[in-house]
Every structure is written in structure tokens, then in C-alpha cells.
Amino acid sequence: MKSSGYGTTTAPEIFIVFDAFLRLIGQIKEIFLYSSLFLGCAAAGMAYTSCFIQGLPFSPAIGAVLFMVVFSVYNLNRKTDEAEDAINHANRFSFTRKFEKPLIYAAILAYGSAVLITCVHSPFASVVTMIPLVSGILYSLPILPRACAHRRIKEIPVMKNIVVSLAWGISFSLIPVLMSGEPAGPASIIVFAFIFCWTFIGSVLPDIRDRAGDAATGVKTIPVLIGVRKSRILLTVFCLVSGSVIIAAGAPVLPAAALTVIISSLVYSQGCILLIEQTRDNDLLCDVISDGQFLFIGGIALFFSI
């Protein structure tokens, strides 16, 4: 079919324009996901959720600090995880190698900005802000003696998941408290446990997907050691037990809306556990649905705040 007159286009030209549009969308998606911008946005949602559960006033500064910390840490860690990424994430590896310098410079600038912002609010907040960076360095670099069976802490079974969970649990529970100038209380402990448990589950799910590359590079993750089925069972038990403890501990001190947000997150996490390796696109599940959980959970918290 062909139109006549000025500004007309043929059907093949329409397909060419549409194909170029789809390629542009794909490039934007790659930039957003592979540069860790998406993770940073999810971190801002997690910061809002933390403030909501603790009854703290949320400020753009709190969201910006945790956005920049997560953006920076994941970009820096991917530099140390290149051997695994080359096997597990060929597209992401190609992207991060192509834009290596801009991503590293952006990560350093963002982390420095986060520390400066927290310094204005509280010197101790700036110390807490450094915990994810120090943790990432300690578990990613070969710092253990050569006499040890493993050179990197992340190669010790389960240690990576525990270290990451501790770093994010401390950061997301304390940074909002310290930056808002409010005292920590029982809700802060509950938020720490909540974020710790979510991060543990969220860090094992990609390990299930990446078990082939991890095994090839000597990283003994939970799925490498016990397989997919047992890993799903372990995560389900962990989610149910830890969730029950958090809800029981939070019931006397948290409002119903905060408990609803926590329960919603636990149900969401369990859905991700059930779907891993049961769907054709584990990348979508791990990198978008699971990692982006707090865009949805933060939205629920925002709904209750209105």
C-alpha cells in the first residue's frame, strides 16, 4: 500500500522506522538495566519503604543517597566479577566493558556525593554510608591468605549472601534514621531484619540462575552446592520462618499499614522463589521483577501515606 502526496511513506518505510524504534527501546533498556540505574531507582523505593515502616519523614536526600550508593556499589562490583559475568551475562559484560570508564567514573562520583550529603546531616551517617563499599571490597577482592582454601570471601559458601544482606540491612535501616535526626527504635531493628531477609533471598535467586558460571569460576554458591530444587525449598523455609518472626515482633510496635507492607513484600518474594527456573526468562525475573520489588512495595507504602 502506498500513499500519495507530500510527507507520504510506504509500508516498507514504516517497518524500517518501527524497527529503528524497537532498537532504540532495546538500547534504553540495556542502559537502564546494565548501568544499575534501575537498581538505584529500586533502592530509592526501598528507602521510602524503610522510612514508612519506621515512621520517619522521607526526604529526597535520603532517596538520593541510597540511590547513589546502590548504583555505585553494583557498578564497582561488576568490575571485580568480570570472570563470572563473561559466562553468565554476556550482554551485560559486553555493555560494561564498552562503557567501563564512564561507569567507573560515575560510580566514584556518585559515592563521593552520597558521602558528602550524609556528612551534612550526620558524621555517623557518612560512616554507615561507607559500609556497602567496604563490604563489597572485602568480599570481592582476593584478600585472604594464599594458604586458605579460598582467596575471596565471596568464594566461601553462603558468605557472599550474608555479607551483602548485612551491608544493605544496616544501610537501609540506619541511614534514614541518622539523616532524619530521629532516634532509632524497635522499628529500626525490624526494618534491619526485614531488609536483611529480603536481600538474602534476592541474592540467592540470581545465584540459581548463574550457577553454571559460578561453578566454572570456583564460586560455591548455595545452588552450586545443593542444586535448584533444594535451594528453592531452603528459600521458602527461610522466607516463611523469618517472615513469621518479623511479623510477630512487629505486631506490637508497628501500625497495621506497615505490617501490610511487610507482608506484601514477603508474598512478593515467595512468588519470585516459586517462579525461578520455572519461567523461560530468568533474567527478567531476577533483574527486573525481583530486583525491582521495592518499586512495587514502595508504591504500596506511598498509597498508605496518601
Report pLDDT digits (tens) over 161-209.
Answer: 898 999 999 999 999 999 998 889 999 999 999 999 999 999 999 999 9
pLDDT of residue 1: 47
4 φ, ψ (degrees, to nearest 5):
-115, 160
Give per-residue pLDDT as tens, 121-132. 988 999 999 999
* Residue 26 lies inside a defined structural domain of this protein: no
Which parts of the chain have pLDDT scores under 70? 1-11, 18, 144, 147, 149-151
Residue 183 counted as domain residue: yes
What is the total count of domains within the chain?
A: 1
Query: Do the domain assignments include residue 1?
Result: no
In a domain, 28, yes or no: no
Residue 23 placed within a domain:
no
| Within a domain: 19 | no
HSE at residue 73, side-chain half, CA atoms within 13 A, is 26
How much is the pLDDT for 231?
Answer: 95
C-beta of residue 220 within 8 angstroms of C-beta of residue 264 = no
pLDDT of residue 151: 67
Q: Which domain holds residue 194?
A: 36-305
Q: Specify the pLDDT at position 7.
A: 54
**What Rg, from alpha-carbon coordinates, does the chain have?**
21
11 belongs to a structural domain: no
Check: CB of residue 248 under 8 Å from CB of residue 292.
no
- Answer yes or no: is 117 within a domain: yes
CA dist list (Å): 276 to 57, 162, 235? 36, 21, 11
Q: What is the CATH number of the domain that holds 290?
A: 1.10.600
Q: For cell 504500596, name the residue.
A: 300
Q: What is the pLDDT of residue 11?
A: 64
Backbone angle region of 281, left / alpha / beta, with phi > 0 → left and psi within -120 to 50 → alpha = beta
Looking at residue 90, its pLDDT comes to 82
Query: According to the model, what pLDDT value does residue 149 have?
Result: 66
